[in-house]
Amino acid sequence: MTEWIISDSRIAYPDALETMERRVAAISAGTADEAVWLLEHPPLYTAGTSARREDLTDPDRFPVYDARRGGQYTYHGPGQRVAYVMLDLNRRGRDVRRFVCRLEDWVIATLAEFGVKGERREGRVGVWVVRPEKAPNLDGSLREDKIAAIGVRVRRWVTFHGISINVEPELEHFSGIVPCGIREHGVTSLVDLGLPVTMGDVDAALARTWEKAFGDHPASATCTR
């Protein structure tokens, strides 16, 4: 079974790391079920294992934490739904790329519940939306904004960290970093796209689409991770 946990209050990042560490150890020992933990953080920046110092453009703005997950710098804060996913890949197949694909599938299916077409991009982990209403890039290509980030860590084939979906965060807060090291694209949210979506709406959509992404079926055939 996968236990679903929803925290109503904002969780400090060090407390979240400690809680995940304990749960992952228990899952690995066979003394706890897999878990999906839905929460929000206060405003902060996190640095993944590939973070570059020059991508932290405003280091004094919010606390900065070493996330000990894959990826680069990202922002977490109010209005963003974070989902920490703690699954046992010993039972689900020891394939981290497939797991990341399924996380992307999950986000894409969740966004589709609100009529938003989320897309994956070669060489860019996360989920993106095309913005034809914005001015094109200098090369004439359509603008794209990131709506969800993905960063994972695996220990003894048990996963932790996970995804974040921008529901209604303060998008200006992303300006203190180069999100995920990508300078040529922006960020957006469901509310920024004109959708009056609440955190509860997103939680319900995540629950509805979970089985489709993580049930016993192949990951998306379009995933090339």
Say what the pLDDT of residue 203 is: 98
pTM for the model: 0.93
Burial of 26 (0-12, 13-18, 19+ CB in 10 A): middle
Which pLDDT tens digit goes with each residue over 3-30?
999 999 999 999 999 999 999 999 999 9
Say what the pLDDT of residue 122 is: 84
For the chain, what is the mean pLDDT?
Answer: 92
Say what the pLDDT of residue 183 is: 67
> pLDDT band at residue 225, thresholds of 50, 70 and 90?
low
177 Cβ partners below 8 Å, 6+ apart? 45, 55, 56, 57, 58, 73, 74, 75
Say what the pLDDT of residue 79 is: 98
> Annotated binding site for substrate: which residue ranges?
69-76, 149-151, 162-164
Which pLDDT tens digit goes with each residue over 162-221?
999 999 999 999 999 987 566 667 899 999 999 999 999 999 999 999 999 998 655 554
- Told to judge if 180 belongs to the known catalytic residues of this protein, a careful annotator would answer yes
> pLDDT band at residue 130, thresholds of 50, 70 and 90?
very high
CATH number of 3-214: 3.30.930.10
Dihedral of the CA atoms 177, 202, 161, 2 (nearest 10)? Answer: 180
Say what the pLDDT of residue 217 is: 52
Say what the pLDDT of residue 72 is: 85
Phi, psi of 213 (to 5 degrees): -80, -35
**What stretches of 40-154 show up as alpha helix (H) in DSSP?**
89-92, 96-112
| Residue 116 pLDDT exceeds 60 | yes
| Residue 154 pLDDT exceeds 90 | yes
Which pLDDT tens digit goes with each residue over 35-80?
999 999 999 999 988 888 899 999 999 999 998 888 888 999 999 9
Say what the pLDDT of residue 222 is: 55
> Annotated binding site: which residue ranges?
69-76, 149-151, 162-164
Say what the pLDDT of residue 221 is: 47
Which residue in the list 103, 180, 190, 205 is annotated as catalytic? Answer: 180
Rounded-to-5 percentages of helix, strand, coil across the chain = 30, 30, 40
Say what the pLDDT of residue 58 is: 93
| Residue 152 pLDDT exceeds 80 | yes
Say what the pLDDT of residue 124 is: 81
